[in-house]
Chains A and B, each alone.
Chain A
Amino acid sequence: MTPENLLHHPFPSQKCTLGCPILDRCLSGGVPCNSITEIVAESGSGKTQLCLQLSLCAQLPVSLGGLSASALYFHTEFSFPFRRLNQLSHCFQSLYPQVFISDAVNSSKNGNCNPCDNIYVQSVHSADQLLDMMPKIESFLANSKTHFPVRLIVIDSVAALFRSEFGNTTSDLWRRSSLFFKISGKLKVLAKRYNLAVVVTNQVVDFVGSGEGVNGVRIGNLGSLCSSGRRVCPALGLAWASCVNSRLFLARDENGLVDGDESSFPYWQTTRRLHIIFAPHLPYSSCELVIRREGVFGIDR
């Protein structure tokens, strides 16, 4: 490639909707293409829910904020939540009947009407395996004969790949951070070449001690992150934080038992909030959200 080829005027980056206008407004249109977006949260906060919903929404036509594209979903933690995806996809089909009815007419020919058919799932168990898979991913992106081109890659979660295998010695940490840069470098190349939106999820670690952040390093808009009443910070440290373009945080707080109305039992009420920790195109903002049977939705208050 000659440097002349690199020269071009920047194009506005395309966004992939999250499937909810309130959440989209918070992120000014959704998850940007050609960029790595990280979602940080403790377990049970809705990372996976958001990712599943995103991989469904990517299939929406551009007029509805999607990418009319299929998704590549890497899961690392436990078995892939097929049942939940199926449930979401049924709700999704009934939410956007105009898309899927017209699609069903077309698909009567090629037998493809289930949105789940456009999500490719692969399990990954170690960071080295992910790195080895990169050439394969690229050839899949380049030569896929899929209904839609792949425009979204989800890695859920990236933390699980790194948290088991590496110790706390200097040499292990060095090896770990060089893997961070290799993997994120490769992902960014793919994101650029195929105009992909890349979404990775990350876990949190409890934050012990006083002051701001680990070793007094504060990253992003919030001085401290709180979830379930504990102070937490994103796993994988500073080096990984330098590898992602935007970082979102899902906070979750139990409000205790709430009495339901006559017909239902008391239930645990949880408030969840999406915070923008840093992003090149967004100021700090936050938005409350709920997880329902139909998916993840923002609440306007």
Chain B
Amino acid sequence: MEVCSLPLSATQRGKLISAGYTSLSSLSSASASDLARDLKISDGEALEILHVASRSSRSDNAEGSHAIINGAQNAWDMLHEESSLTRITTSSADLDNILGGGISCKEVTEIGGVPGIGKTQLGIQLAVNVQIPPHCGGLGGRAIYIDTEGSFMVERALQVAEACIEDMSEYSRFLRKDLQTFQVGLQSKDILENIYYFRVCSYTEQIALVNYLDKFITEHRDVKIVIIDSITFHFRQDFDDLALRTRVLSGMALKLMKVAKNFSLAVVLLNQVTTKHTEGSFQLGLALGDSWSHSCTNRVILYWNGNERCAYIDKSPSLRSASAPYSVTSRGIRNSTSNYKRVKMM
């Protein structure tokens, strides 16, 4: 449908066409402020034009299934879609339980904890687990691992991948109930090949990479998880202007959320902890400040409870706050089988 057929004044029509808005679909993606700028008219007038355009297009599609503003979805559809989305398991059933089945796609999850608690281990585990093929209950996707600290160790990823393959073949043998060795059809080499690894050495590189993610994932549609280990490191240096840091960070968070939504993939951000000095006492909290805590849909905090590692859901719109123990073994993240290993070692 052409702009000429809209019930508008001739001057407005002329302005629209000379600014390049010839079809209704070109108007559908324009915002009022864009239009006002391009046509050099007031915001109100631009809004009026958009109203007219949307009304006439609605009457055009009598069934009303196609709104001019794309992207709106009703909650029922979303619920349906959500139930069909699989989650990425952490390989620890207890941890999966409190996460509602694993790390959810389409959402940004932040995981924080003290050094040595297992953030990187969890990151590596997720990068491997996202590749579990659908017939074993996984997503069969690929992973992007953005390393800002240099803690990603290939030898460790290989260990975790090999353990994961063993577990999968065990699982499928159990499922098929035949004792023949079943080939999962996945080798540890493939698993490592399916992790796109980026080493980022400064915050400018980090921002550039986050901006580039959109394009990269468009070319690699099977990427199902983006892990940033850690989101914090470069933002704790070279920033004297904290207001600027907040702006840059929230811009990056928005981009990540958009990527998560558009490609229905999981974004996992690992964060460091810091002590906050308030009224003479020190309190532990995740780094990057209060405004950053709005940037993530879910927030999981890892902490020590005696000799046991625990995870705690600090913030989530759909999960209740709960905590569960887990352990880091040579095979990766597993359920905590209370002090079987550490005690033996001492």
12 A–B contacts, CB within 8 A, in A order: A3-B198, A6-B205, A10-B152, A178-B240, A181-B233, A185-B234, A191-B150, A215-B282, A223-B307, A245-B149, A280-B152, A283-B329
Known: A182-B237, A185-B233. A13 touches B153 (CB 8 A): yes
A283 to B196, CA, bound (A): 25
Min distance, Cβ B241 to any Cβ of chain A, angstroms? 12
Listed stretches A29-37, A86-94, A96-104; interface member? A29-37
A284 at the interface (CB under 8 A from B): yes
Assuming the contacts A217-B284, A219-B114, A278-B116, asked whether A239 and B274 have C-beta atoms less than 8 A apart, the reply is yes
Interface check A43, CB cutoff 8 A = no
Number of interface residues of B (CB under 8 A): 52
Contact of A218 among B114, B121, B240 (CB under 8 A): B114
Q: Which residues of A contact B179 (CB under 8 A)?
A: none
Q: Is B23 an interface residue (CB 8 A)?
A: no
Contact indicator per residue, chain B 45-86, by CB within 8 Å of chain A (1) or not (0): 000000000000000000000000000000000000000000
Number of A-B contacts (CB under 8 A): 127
Which one of B115, B120, B193 contacts A241 once the chains associate, using CB atoms below 8 Å? Answer: B115
Q: Does A210 contact B (CB under 8 A)?
A: no
Contact surface of B with A, Cβ cutoff 8 Å: 114-116, 120-121, 149-157, 192-193, 195-202, 205, 208-209, 212, 216, 232-234, 236-238, 240, 272-275, 277, 282, 284, 287, 304, 306-307, 328-330, 342, 345
Cα–Cα, bound, A218→B303 (Å): 8
Determine the distance from Cα of A166 to Cα of B107 in the docked complex, in whole angstroms. Answer: 42
Q: Which chain A residue has the least Cβ–Cβ distance from B147?
A: A10
The answer to whether B155 and A215 have CB atoms under 8 Å apart is no
In the complex, chain B residues whose CB is within 8 Å of the CB of A177: 236
Interface string of A232-255 (1 = CB under 8 A from B): 000001110110110100000000
Tell me the complex Cα distance, A128–B99, Å.
45
Q: How many residues of A contact B (CB 8 A)?
A: 51
State the CA gap A264–B202 with chains docked (Å).
Answer: 58
- Choose among B149, B216, B236 the residue that contacts A178 (Cβ–Cβ < 8 A): B236
- Which residues of A (163-203) have their CB < 8 Å from a CB of B? 170, 173, 177-178, 181-182, 185, 188-189, 191-193
CB distance A280 to B216 under 8 Å? no
Pair A280/B284 contact, Cβ less than 8 Å: no
B205 with A1: CB separation less than 8 A:
yes
A10-B154 CB under 8 A given contacts A1-B205, A182-B237, A238-B274? yes
Checking B192, B212, B233 against A3 with a beta-carbon cut-off of 8 angstroms, the contacting residue is B212
Q: Which 10 A-B pairs have the closest CB atoms?
A: A278-B116, A181-B237, A281-B153, A220-B116, A3-B212, A280-B151, A181-B236, A281-B156, A218-B304, A241-B115
Q: Are B154's CB and A178's CB within 8 A?
A: no
Q: Could you tell me if A28 and B155 are in contact, using CB atoms closer than 8 angstroms?
A: yes
